[in-house]
Structure 1
Amino acid sequence: MPATSPMSPAVSPDVCAIDFGTSNSAVVVPAGTGMTLVPLEDGQSTMPTAVFYLAEGPGLQNLPRLYGRAAVASYVEGTEGRLMRSMKSALGSGLIDQPTDIGASRSVTFADVIASYLRHLRSLAQQHAGRELTRVVLGRPVYFVDGDPVRDAQAQAALEDAARSVGFQEIAFQYEPLAAAFDYEAGITEEQHVLVADIGGGTSDFSVVRVGPQRRERLERRDDVLANHGVHIAGTDFDRRVELTSILPELGYGALGPAQEGRAAREVPSGVYFDLATWHLINTVYRPQRVFELRAMKGDYADPVQHQRLMKVLNDHLGHELLGRAEAGKIAVAAGGDADIGLPLVERGLSVRLTQAQAVGALHEDIGRIVTAAIETAALAGLAPERIDALYFTGGSTGLKLLTDRLAAAFPSARAVHGERLASVATGLGLYARRRFHA
């Protein structure tokens, strides 16, 4: 975060800013004359937006729960309970006040889940700041609900109610793409059009934002968001493609069954492989009935070793580990060159090689759709690609060079700027909080 200038007003000490994200969240609090990110979990300044409600053990009536990486780890390990993710998407929908089952004959509403998570963030921020925090700036998308202003207003009101219920007394909102652009805006000397590319785990979101030194200190900036668009393709889709391309063929994906007289060999059924490559479906393949059915399919494989490897993954619950190896391979290739993906948990000495050509082939279609969405966003703002002055990259998946290079090529006049991948929005919200709640 840029240092506060000598002329900037001092920020009120009871303020924080929260990026309550779909996949990850972050918080900033005052520090000296500026704002600083709060270490939320394991010393890291971002935390998965996840709550895991335990359904076994003592005190279930008190709704014992885990947050962030601990929540995700419990789910992956198969602990009895219910993992809640992407609860931000319930805002503005009829789900917000509907009870949802969390096991052991208990239920909560999504409003309760969101409030619980915000309370946890506030508690961590107060521990770090050493004081009570009663005022907050919350990030929000340009549209919680596209094309429905009434439901969009209801979504913001529901988030405000949740924040108020956990102890915040004064609440302000700022648009997330604007917040991401504030960091870039601090260093420019003339008005520009910036395409903010926020590409995370589940979605690729684009906004055309007007920034400039004359606009910097304005508190109301809604009219500076000129267009907003996106697609539901992002990091988890990339990992899925890479796993299907490189790892799962070793377990039989795309393989043929035994040849039979008078009939061509048929491909091994692929449903289990698509489930193994989809994060939220992996645990479904461990269910006893599913394992029983897949064990009985041994005769469908021409190569019994492939079936043996598949059953090893199912019996030892290695699905999330394989997807993690695929993600690591993707990141290694993105840094340049090829990558070896070791699979000794499946079979001693087993590894696969992911080449850059394979990665490009696997991701070409998805990246193409993302680039198309970016160009469409500029068109919605009435701008040709050549009139975009800067590309501002934020979100975890913008570390993928294959993607950012394709986007840069689509906007040849734009300066490519990389913000903090997981904390740019929170950083920008902190800049706004300093202006909005000065002492």
Structure 2
Amino acid sequence: MSDAPDAILAIDFGTSNSAAAIWQDGALRRIPIAGGEDTLPTAVFFPTRGAAMQIGQQAVQSLIDGEDGRFMRALKSILGTSLFHESRLVGGKRRTLSEIVTAFLAAVKARAEAETGRRFTHALSGRPVHFHSADPARDRKAEEDLRACYLAAGFAGVDFMFEPEAAAVASHSLGRPEELGLIVDIGGGTSDFSVYRAPGGRVEILASHGLRLGGTDFDHAISLSHAMPLLGHGTELRRTFGEGLLPVPNGVYQDLSSWPKIPFLYTRDTQKLVADLVKHAVEPKKMTRLATVIGDELGHELAFAVEKGKIAANSARPEARIAMGYIERGLAADVTPASMDAALGAYRRALHQAMSETLDMADTAPEAIGRIVLVGGSSLMSLVADEAKALCTKAEVSRSEAFTAVVDGLAIASGRP
């Protein structure tokens, strides 16, 4: 196995999907980490009986097949928080999320080395412009957490590059060299933007900006507005003593709609809380459905159903719905483009404002942008292109490689002299 000093592995460790690539012999080479695919879900599964951790599509399949174990996704969202270092019982052993992310990165490294026959001593990793857009201290801590995971995974060193800047490196050939471009990179957990131009084929970044908003937030809002009301969200409770009614508390629904928090709901405390809600519910049938989800650990099945319904509604399919038959026979929540847009209206405004702020940072007028390049799986949501085009009215819209533009750019950047 080669151990060349320039053995740098480019890794896009994403909230929803991850990818790896290298610059080899003057060309980009994506590395199929699992199943021959260029990307893999950023997901892990720990079988109950202590078998080895599974990653990617294998982890997702174990969940779908109903195997006993703990499934986790969107771990990147927890970077920079105290939860990242809390020890919990997972797969028959007490582990921290830091240790789980380290194990995921170590698996990516080992599989990349097996695939290429090279030993990778260093990593060039993508990172959002802001892990936490409203908290600079937590944002710094998030990069420190991720750096520590890379080092613990066996890399001697790791450098970071803003994800939209990496996407600009990969996508600059989509426009004319002299034209100003705007990268709009909407991933699973963050939205990132870069204004760039590429004179002489070298990408020049004029400004980068971002906010903590992505596809998992879209799922969260759609779940709360469409699915959770069928589980009792927004209903009322009878008082134990006295007259009058109380609103059902939101906490369990907020966590059940959040990918990274779902695994931590399956506790005796949560079961006791939900049992009390059922006892006092004005609409006990709905609350009993919630008890089924918690008791049978169906949170991730529900989250996948919400994601599927979102994608169908975004394509304006008339049959778009959140299928919930595994909770109760025939149960489903219809999703239309109009109902989804109503749920995501605040996010439209946030995206528009962030793009406008990026242009201000670059001292660039919206009408000066000649090309908008959409990157990231969640950029496929129609509201993203709508808001970008509404701001930069003279720009052409191009779609880069939605799921690999970042890792492609990282690999190209790693090969620069």
Give the TM-score category using the shorter length. 0.7 to 0.9
Q: Give the counterpart letter for 1:26 in structure 2.
A: A
SS in 2 for 1:378: helix
In the alignment, is the contact (CA less than 8 A) between 1:268 and 1:300 conserved in 2? no
Q: After superposition, where does 1:22-421 map in structure 2 within 5 Å? A: 23-29=16-22, 34-49=27-42, 57=50, 65-68=53-56, 79=69, 85-86=75-76, 89-90=79-80, 101=87, 103=89, 110=98, 116-133=103-120, 137-140=124-127, 159=147, 162=150, 166=154, 174-209=161-196, 211-216=197-202, 224-257=204-237, 265-338=245-318, 339-421=320-402
For structure 2, which runs of at least 5 residues remain unmatched after alignment? Answer: none
Alpha carbons of 1:102 and 1:378: their partners in 2 closer, same or farther (altered >3 Å)? same
In the alignment, is the contact (CA less than 8 A) between 1:22 and 1:89 conserved in 2? no
SS in 2 for 1:214: helix
Q: Distance in 1 between matches of 2:403 and 2:74?
A: 20
Q: CA RMSD in A?
A: 4.2
Alpha carbons of 1:374 and 1:294: their partners in 2 closer, same or farther (altered >3 Å)? same
Alpha carbons of 1:100 and 1:55: their partners in 2 closer, same or farther (altered >3 Å)? farther
Alpha carbons of 1:295 and 1:55: their partners in 2 closer, same or farther (altered >3 Å)? closer
Q: How many Å apart are 1:299 and its aligned residue?
A: 4.3
Q: Distance in 1 between matches of 2:10 and 2:128?
A: 15
Q: Distance in 2 between matches of 1:366 and 1:198?
A: 15
Alpha carbons of 1:431 and 1:160: their partners in 2 closer, same or farther (altered >3 Å)? farther
Q: Distance in 1 between matches of 2:38 and 2:233?
A: 38
For structure 1, which runs of at least 5 residues remain unmatched after alignment? Answer: 1-11, 59-63
SS in 2 for 1:347: coil
1:248-284 Cα offsets, whole Å, 9 max, x none, are 2122222245799x96654433332222212233234
In the alignment, is the contact (CA less than 8 A) between 2:75 and 2:260 conserved in 1? no
SS in 1 for 2:352: helix
Q: How many Å apart are 1:213 and its aligned residue?
A: 3.8
Taking only the aligned residue pairs, the percentage that are identical comes to: 31
Q: Give the counterpart letter for 2:154 in structure 1.
A: V
Paired position in structure 2 for 1:61: none
Q: Distance in 2 between matches of 1:190 and 1:81?
A: 45
SS in 2 for 1:190: coil
SS in 2 for 1:28: strand
In the alignment, is the contact (CA less than 8 A) between 2:256 and 2:265 conserved in 1? yes
- TM (norm. structure 2) is 0.80
SS in 2 for 1:47: strand
Paired position in structure 2 for 1:6: none
SS in 1 for 2:334: strand
Q: Distance in 1 between matches of 2:248 and 2:221?
A: 18
Q: Distance in 1 between matches of 2:266 and 2:70?
A: 13
